[in-house]
Amino acid sequence: MTAPNLLRALRGERLDAPPLWLMRQAGRYLPEYRALRAKAGGFWAMASDPVLASEVTLQPVRRFGLDAAILFSDILVAPYALGQDVAFHEGQGPVLGPVPPSLDFDLSRIGFVYDTIRRVRDALPADKALIGFAGGPWTLACYMLSGRGGDFMPARAAAWRGEIGPLMAALVETTAGHLVEQARVGADALQIFESWAGLCPDVPRWVVEPTRAVVERVRAAAPDTPIIGFPRGLTQGWATYAQTTGVDALGLDERVDAAWAAEHLQPRWPVQGNLDPACLLAGGRALDAEVRRIRAALSGGPFVFNLGHGVHKHTPPEHIHALISVLRGV
Ligand code: CP3
């Protein structure tokens, strides 16, 4: 049997119909997600229960026939494995406790993630890929040092003061260990979500080098598992990031011009992206036109259609059906 289309594209093959998945494809915009979440009692209760988490992982694949499932979990399981308290409060986003004094990670604290992967891989058809993921070390440091989302001033100031070396070293080991374990138990591809790369005061030092170290460790243990890097918000240096880190493919946010990416990035790396989630929320003629524009710009090389960031919680599911019919030309 041939490999799932997502893996073919990530390994550098140009496909006539680009494979499709969406960041945050499982989530509050889906009624079946909201129903299960209400029953479970909250996001963390659902994410830490392999039966519920695997069901939520599969929901969008069933509904839309997407080419890949992405593990239903969160990047903040890594700080949790490092012993930090992590809580998700309704309508408020994540809140973290103080950074623990000892930075030894214990992946057995998040064994539920690996159980979820095993269950999803068993249930998923062979032509669909399962994507595992982790936060990039810098993005995890942003949450760990600031305690919550926002402008991450405490983390950015600590980086300027040169105080984050030991934490970043621990995060490289934790992230690499977490990704290796996901590949070992059944993830077919891995994505590194460096969602706050654009806020980093020293991208070469705190984004590129730590990611390179993570990729090196994961490659050594899982040489056949493609890695997608998603350094969201970089204003320059996408090629340097890909070249230096050694990721297999680049996830582009919506601010990267697709025609520029086709000329400067795609000849060397498969690219993934980059429809604006606000355009998917808008729907209608704007959505049609954007899907066509991005597909036309990037279909000349290896390409995975996706958003530039996650699905917004108010997105009508019908807009995803519309996206798919335009993308597939039916
Ligand atoms: O993409 C997927 O469908 C897989 C699941 C997934 C979640 N979080 C589930 C989730 C993934 C890949 C993530 C990654 C994640 N988590 C990132 C990187 C990607 C990005 O969005 O930039 C970040 C920064 C986080 C941290 C985080 N987790 C935040 C800021 C929040 C609150 C956001 C919100 O919309 O309220 C979460 C909670 C979270 N993680 C939800 C989901 C579906 C919402 C939980 C809910 O209330 O049901």
The CATH classification of domain 5-328, taken from the options 3.10.20.600, 3.40.50.720, 3.20.20.210, 3.40.50.300: 3.20.20.210
CA–centroid distance, residue 2 to ligand 1 (Å): 32
48-65: pLDDT as tens digits: 999 999 999 999 999 999
With 90 as the cut, is the pLDDT of residue 20 above it? yes
How far apart (Å, rounded) are the C-alpha atoms in residues 131 and 47?
Answer: 16
The phi and psi torsions of 178 (rounded to 5 degrees) equal -65, -40
Q: Which has the closest alpha carbon to 132: 37, 227, 26, 210?
A: 227
Q: CB under 6 Å to ligand 1: residues?
A: 23-28, 37, 43, 70, 72, 74-76, 88, 93-94, 133, 149, 193, 195, 310
**57 in Cβ contact with 70 (< 8 Å):** yes
How far apart CA 262 and CA 258 sit, in angstroms, is 6
Mutate to test the pocket of ligand 1, among 74, 144, 196, 315 (most ligand atoms within 8 A of CB): 74
Higher per-residue pLDDT: 330 or 252: 252
For residue 205, give the DSSP letter.
Answer: I
Please report the atom of ligand 1 found closest to the CA of residue 57: 3
The pLDDT value recorded for residue 89 is 87
Strands 129-135 and 93-96: unpaired
Instruction: Look over the chain and give the mean of its residue pLDDT values, rounded to a whole number.
Output: 97
Average pLDDT over residues 156-182: 98
pLDDT at residue 317 in the model:
98
Look at residue 131 in the predicted model and tell me its pLDDT: 98
- Within a 10 A sphere around the Cβ of 107, how many other Cβ atoms? 16
Q: Measure the CA–CA gap between 70 and 88, rounded to whole angstroms.
A: 20
**Using omega within 30 degrees of 0 as the cis cutoff, is the peptide bond preceding 306 cis?**
no
Q: What percent of the chain has pLDDT over 70?
A: 99
Instruction: Write the residue with the smallest CA distance to atom 30 of ligand 1.
Output: 93
Confidence at residue 2, expressed as pLDDT on a 0 to 100 scale: 84
Looking at the chain, which runs of residues are DSSP E strands?
A: 68-70, 86-89, 93-96, 129-135, 189-194, 227-231, 249-251, 271-275, 303-307
Over residues 179-237, the pLDDT tens digits come to: 999 999 999 999 999 999 999 999 999 999 999 999 999 999 999 999 999 999 999 99
Tell me the pLDDT band of 330, cut-offs 50, 70 and 90.
low
Of 12, 4, 2, the C-alpha closest to 249 is 12
Q: What is the pLDDT of residue 91?
A: 82
254 pLDDT band (50/70/90 cuts)? Answer: very high
Burial class (CB in 10 A: 0-12, 13-18, 19+), 15: middle
DSSP label of 130: E
Rounded CA gap, 284 and 280, in Å? 9
pLDDT band at 41 (very low <50, low <70, confident <90, very high): very high
For residue 292, the tally of other CB atoms under 10 A from its CB is 13
Element housing 184 (H / E): helix 165-185
Query: What is the DSSP code string of 34-45?
Result: HHHHHHHTSHHH
Quote the CA–CA distance of 251 and 62 in Å, as a whole number.
Answer: 24
Binning pLDDT at 50, 70 and 90, where does residue 329 land? confident
Instruction: Please choose, from the candidates 15, 69, 23, the residue with its C-alpha nearest in 3D space to the C-alpha of residue 298.
Output: 15
- Expressed in angstroms and rounded, the spacing between residue 140 Cα and the centre of ligand 1 is 13
Residue type for position 170:
A
Residues that are catalytic: 24, 28, 37, 74, 143
Tokens of 40: 């479970």
pTM exceeds 0.95: yes
Query: What confidence tens digit (pLDDT) does each residue in 264-304 have?
Result: 999 999 999 999 999 999 999 999 999 999 999 999 999 99
pLDDT tens for 141-153 read 999 999 999 999 9
Residue 90 confidence class, pLDDT cut points 50, 70, 90: confident
The more confident residue out of 1 and 185 is 185
